[in-house]
Structure 1
Amino acid sequence: MSSATPSPRTVALPVAFFAGLGQSTLAGSGSAGALPADAIRDAGYAAGTALFDHFAQWLAEHGEARPAELADERFPWLLEAFFRHIGWGRVQLHPLTDAVLALDASDWSESSNGPSGCLVSTGLFAGFFGRLADAPISVLEVGHPVADPSRARFLLGSVEVMGYVWDAMERGMPYDRAVASV
């Protein structure tokens, strides 16, 4: 009997899945057949925590250290390589402050979802980075500085910090100013 860890099971879905999911969310907001946005983010969160295991295995298969042991300068490159490998697109991390990271996604599978945004990705990143940090991480989709339907920008930080940023944005403050004031 082998003691090897079984490979995390994943499936491939066509990108059109996200458009259909978004339409289901928007179709009849409040109707019995509509999917609530929170349920989609929650499903993304569950997928993100599982995807972290896939990332850890992918790293091992490529002779890399475990996620928590990666050198800071290698992590962004490996993260981008992983997400491209699994078909989501390109990700780049940018520290905005000591408390907030921006994650820019380009050629992003879910970003052409229109007005419903990247609900799965928001949950996915919260679950994935929460596992990495071994602490709850909050993620806000804030658009992208370059108006392009294949791009998205997400802000990552602690629940408290991102709550502050969200509240400031709700009052009309641009996200970059809200983040700078943290």
Structure 2
Amino acid sequence: MSTSLPFLTTRTVTVPVEFFDGLRRSTQLAHPAVPVDAVRDAGYVAGQALFDHFSAWLADRSEHGPDDLLDSRFPILLREYFFEIGWGLVQLSSLSEAVMVLDANNWGEAAAEASGCPVSTGLFAGFFGRLADAPISVLEVTPDSAAEGQCRFLLGSVDVLNYVWEAMERGIPYDRAATSA
């Protein structure tokens, strides 16, 4: 007799939040010159697979696929999904016509000892890139009111987020740069 969870078409595992810190540390030891890039790349590959898992999760709930969801339903279901699989709470909102903000609270990776969320940065690039069927750039930023366990990400086209990044390097706040992008 086989047992399976109804919405799992891909195999998933649960890991403690300390996994993220361990991944960063071991990657840094193995590849000191590129630890963040390697971890972010791993997140990207996982994000593409997670999109398939999200699609199956939606189907299990008799919802439309991600491509066909109403814009008003997508953020709600995205929030439910990430909470249910143990990552934390996400809130997707618009910062400008070209840039979305994804706030992650009580976020699994942010609870790890090391700072930043490079796995999540890659994860969201892979996930939303699959949704858009186009490359999506994701930039982690620190909001003024950042609290422990929070991460904030900007999502947009590669060109737009390059513009935002360059503006930030010149000292322009990311929200102002995003609205002028």
TM-score by length of 2: 0.90
Deviation at 1:36, TM superposition (A): 1.6
DSSP 3-state at the match of 2:178? helix
Counterpart in the other structure of 2:23: 21
Counterpart in the other structure of 2:151: 152
Tell me the matched-pair count: 174
Stretches of structure 1 that go unaligned for 5 or more consecutive residues are none
| Distance of aligned partners of 1:117 and 1:44 in 2 relative to their CA distance in 1, 3 Å threshold | same
CA distance in 1, matches of 2:113, 2:15: 19
DSSP 3-state at the match of 2:148? coil
CA distance in 2, matches of 1:69, 1:42: 28
Deviation at 1:57, TM superposition (A): 0.1
Counterpart in the other structure of 1:135: 134
Deviations 1:130-175 (A, max 9, x none): 0000110000000233221111100000000001001111111111
CA distance in 2, matches of 1:144, 1:22: 23
CA distance in 1, matches of 2:30, 2:10: 34
Q: What letter is aligned with 1:65?
A: H
Q: How does 1:64-79 map to 2 (within 5 A)?
A: 64-79=63-78
Q: What letter is aligned with 2:37?
A: D
* Aligned sequence identity (%): 60
**Alpha carbons 1:122, 1:141 under 8 Å: kept:** yes
CA distance in 1, matches of 2:8, 2:109: 28
DSSP 3-state at the match of 2:155? strand
| Distance of aligned partners of 1:145 and 1:62 in 2 relative to their CA distance in 1, 3 Å threshold | farther
| Distance of aligned partners of 1:19 and 1:160 in 2 relative to their CA distance in 1, 3 Å threshold | same
CA distance in 2, matches of 1:24, 1:144: 29
TM-score by length of 1: 0.89
